[in-house]
Amino acid sequence: MHHPAAFVKPRLRRAFLSFLVIGLAALVACRPVEPRSAQSLVNDAHLRHLLEEIDLHGERVAILHVYARYPDYVWSDAKESGPEGIACVDDAARAAVFSMRQYEFQGNKEHLARARALLSFVLQMQSDDGLFFNFVLADRTINTSGRTSYASLGWWACRAVWALGVGVRIFWNEDSLFAVRLAEALDKTIARVETLSVRYGMIAERAGYRIPQWLVSGSASDASSEMMLGLLAYARGRADPGLQDLIRKIAAGMMVMQDGDRKSYPYGLHRSWETVWHMWGNAQTQALAEAGKMLADSSMIASAEREARGWYARLLVDGFLKELDLAAPQGRKEFEQIAYCVRPMAVGLLRLHDATGKAEYLPMAGLAAAWLFGNNVPSQPMYDPGTGRCFDGINDSTNVNKNSGAESTIEALLTILEVEQYPEAAKFLHYRKMRKGGTLESPYAVFRDDAGNVAVLEIDQASGEPNVLIGESARQFVDTASVSPGMK
């Protein structure tokens, strides 16, 4: 039998040897472990309902149907931007990441097999030049010209990089030939990403805001953050200065897109694109925390903390938003809110805990993820552990979209799976905000679970720092605090 390295191109062969020699300890550390709780809330039944195996270009692959409509939750195609298709790379890539994380935590080979089938679909959707198409049509052909499916280095390609990077790491010890195939595909896309670096250091300006020019789509810090999650997984345990340099450049662009601090508006948020921030898909805190820890770069971790302690804390106190344009703040929108808003924030806080060891990030992560269980404006659970469905969104203060498509389902499952690995975060999943008060400079919110346990998140007026109070200190705070007329 041939050694797997015999099938690899020279550049990739060096990566293969790097993984074998330098990455051995890191890979061993990522072997599956037993779940920390036998009472897991993760139920992938609806995800499996959305999954279908098909033949694509002569290979058996798995797809996830995009939508499932209430009340019967039958499969439904995507048609919002013209004819799109029945399934897409966006969802398959995310589901592959979730399935591989399931395998890491639980050691179930069925999860690994599902990830492989989903990754095989992602591979089939790559063009020869390293770009990705997004949608497959009902006739099992690729949509090559749709507004949300043309060959690009946009959102779906970034999510593909995320899945492929995690896939190389997970499959290296399980099926090295498949891992090599994933790495070859990933290297083609990385070559395209590297071409963006010719604009490194170029910064434009709009409405007084600095806009880096070397991220995906110019200044897409949001899409770049999801791509970087894959690059970080690929780089783990490797001695690859070129890849590390690319990660550093992407991180630098993200940090250019950050404004304000813990005491000054907009409180350390990372803009998503140009002057716009939106909550969905903004994984900069997660990516920067992971990158800072891997590369021992304190500036990256500090940037992630600046967003978490300034902006995330205020979102937890004041409530989630959909988006805002810093150049036109009157256009601030509260709805709609979706599960894809929750995962970047909750998991970002977990990764900050990993990078810093600071305990306060765990209850903050749990309170963020509690949106899925009713810690939201209509106080309605969005995720049902009995069925594994997650509703597609909160339309306004009273109305919930009860459809349950692939994106919402995957984002909810991945969020809960990650939070459950930290008992000090998971115990806050069923807390709900009871009231908020204080002043605009020093707001606070009181959270309570069904058992009567209380937690308080307050922003210190002098420092702008968030303080998490639990147990007796929280009860004492509630007893002495009064609700300001200026707060809801």
| Torsion angle, alpha carbons of 241, 245, 251, 252, to 10 | 150
Opening angle at CA 438, ends 434 and 441, nearest 5: 130
Question: Element (H or E) spanning 444, and its range?
Answer: strand 443-448
pLDDT at 485 over 50: no
For 160-193, what is each residue's pLDDT tens digit?
999 999 999 999 999 999 999 999 999 999 999 9
Going by pLDDT thresholds of 50, 70 and 90, the confidence category of residue 408 is very high
Asked if residue 469 and residue 391 are part of one domain, the reply reads no
Q: Is the pLDDT of residue 83 over 80?
A: no
Does 278 score more than 60 pLDDT?
yes
Phi, psi for residue 53 in degrees, rounded to 5: -90, 135
The predicted model gives 267-287 an average pLDDT of 98
User: Does residue 189 sit in the same domain as residue 123?
Assistant: yes
pLDDT of residue 238: 80
Q: Beta strands 400-401 and 432-438: pairing type? A: unpaired
Instruction: Kindly write down the DSSP assignment for every residue of 69-97, as one continuous string.
Output: ETTTTEEE-B-BTBS-BSEEHHHHHHHHH
Query: What pLDDT score was predicted for residue 329?
Result: 80
Closest CA to 266 of 204, 332, 222: 332
Are 359 and 475 in the same domain? no
- 347-383 tens-digit pLDDT: 999 999 999 999 999 999 999 999 999 999 999 999 9
Sign of the alpha-carbon dihedral angle for 303, 306, 308, 311? negative
First CA to last CA distance, the chain: 69
Number of domains in the chain: 2
Share of the chain above pLDDT 70, in %: 90
Question: Do 296 and 444 reside in the same domain of the chain?
Answer: no
Q: What is the mean pLDDT of the chain?
A: 91
CA gap 196, 376 in Å, rounded: 39
Give dist(CA 435, CA 318) in Å, integer.
10
What is the value of pTM for the model shown? Answer: 0.92
| Other Cβ atoms within 10 Å of 33 Cβ, number | 12
Question: CA nearest 225: which of 201, 255, 259?
Answer: 255
**Residue 371 shares a structural domain with residue 479:** no
Using the structure block, give the residue that is written with the tokens 């350390």: 268
Whether the per-residue pLDDT at 29 is higher than 60: the answer is: no
Kindly report, residue by residue over 72-82, the tens digit of the pLDDT: 999 988 776 56
Domain of 306, in residue numbers: 4-435
Contact (CB, 8 A) for 203 and 257: no
Q: Looking at the predicted structure, is the pLDDT value of residue 21 above 50?
A: no
Q: Domain ends where: 390, 419, 435?
A: 435
- Structure token digits, residue 450: 């069904």
Q: Are residues 467 and 421 in the same domain?
A: no
Packing angle of the helix pair 342-356, 298-307 (nearest 10 deg)? 140
In terms of domains, do 415 and 462 share one? Answer: no
134 token code pair: 């997004």
Q: How sure is the predictor about 477, in pLDDT bands with cuts at 50, 70 and 90?
A: very high
For residues 260 and 274, state if they share a domain: yes
CA distances from 451 to 302, 390, 448 (A): 36, 24, 8
CA dihedral sign of residues 43, 47, 49, 54: negative
**What does the pLDDT look like over 304-351, one tens digit per residue?**
999 999 999 999 999 999 999 999 988 799 999 999 999 999 999 999
237: closest CA among 185, 179, 197?
A: 179
One domain, residues 361 and 483: no
- 47-to-111, 142, 308 alpha-carbon distances in Å: 12, 22, 30
178 and 57 in a common domain: yes
Residues 333 and 440 in one domain: no
Do 451 and 311 belong to one domain?
A: no
Residue 266, preceding bond cis, omega within 30 degrees? yes
Q: What is the pLDDT of residue 17?
A: 42
